[in-house]
Structures are given as C-alpha cells and as structure tokens.
Amino acid sequence: MYSTILDLQLHFSPAFLTLTADDNRDGSLDTTVLTQAIVEADQRIDVLLGLVYVTPFAAPIPALVNELSSILAGQNLARRVPSSTVIVYRGDFSRAASLLDLLAQGKVLLPGAERRTRSISIDPPAEERVFSTCTLEGF
C-alpha cells in the first residue's frame, strides 16, 4: 500500500476518521474500512499513473504518491457519510484529483518514479503485391 492508517491519522482529524470509519460506533476506527479506502485509492493511482509510470510503485514509495494515496483514501472515506463535516477537506480532495490528472498526462513529473517507455511498432515491409493492374490485365 502506498499509504498507511497512520498516514491517514496524521493527515485527517480524529473527528473525521471517527465519523467515516467507525461503523459500529464503538469509538475505535475500523481498520478494514480504512484499509479498503487505501486500497481503492492506490488502485486509482495505478490505473491513472500506469500510463506514464511503471506501476505498482516499488519501495521507497515516492512521497507525492504517499500523499496522494492518503488524500484519495480520505476522499473514499468521505463518500461513506452524507455530512457537512467533510467539507473542510473538499479542497484537498480537489487538488489531489487535479494533480493526479496532471501526473497521468505527463504535464507534471513525479520525482523518483520510473517512467514507462513508449514502444513504437514498425510494421515489416509489405510483400510485393500478388495482384495488380498489370497482372490482372485482360481479366
């Protein structure tokens, strides 16, 4: 995983995490919910950045990928609750999505990440035509 539950706890407030990831309301964060949010964020990163970079990213994970994973995981958590308390992070979610798009388009480079090489396919020369106007003359 590109980020951890600890990364989420460092990035988001305890109130936000409790609201979005304490399904049984026992006061403890549900690690399954948090892990699933991270996995989904990482899959989104791999799909989009896999066009430009070799994914999945190997350790050490680029710091920007770690940050994007945390923020996108938070966005996944926010979708679980219809509440105005998640508005505070809306700007973070929007900036992360925009940056991810720019990285996927190759307009912004990701330091420390291996870029995917583009291969160019060249067709072998065509064989001489069997049928042509000259060889079909008279038919």
Q: What is the pLDDT of residues 15-74, one digit of tens each?
A: 999 999 999 999 899 999 999 999 999 999 999 999 899 999 999 999 999 999 999 999
Q: Is residue 122 a part of any domain in this protein?
A: no
Q: Which pair of tokens denotes residue 129?
A: 């035509």
Give per-residue pLDDT as tens, 79-120. 998 766 678 888 999 999 999 999 999 999 998 888 988 655
The model's confidence at residue 139, banded by pLDDT at 50, 70 and 90, is low
Q: Is residue 128 a part of any domain in this protein?
A: no
Please tell me the total count of domains within the chain. Answer: 1
**115 pairs with which residues across the strands?**
53
110 contact partners, CB below 8 Å, separation of at least 6: 49, 53, 62, 64, 65, 103
Q: Is residue 119 a part of any domain in this protein?
A: no
Angle between helices 90-105 and 31-49 (to 10 degrees): 30
Domain that residue 12 falls in = 5-105
Q: Is residue 100 a part of any domain in this protein?
A: yes
Report whether 30 contacts 71 (CB < 8 A). no
**What pTM did the predictor assign?**
0.80
Q: Is residue 130 a part of any domain in this protein?
A: no
Q: What is the pLDDT of residue 64?
A: 95
Q: Is residue 97 a part of any domain in this protein?
A: yes
- pLDDT tops 80 at residue 135: no
Q: Is residue 116 a part of any domain in this protein?
A: no
Q: What is the pLDDT of residue 127?
A: 65
Q: Is residue 36 a part of any domain in this protein?
A: yes
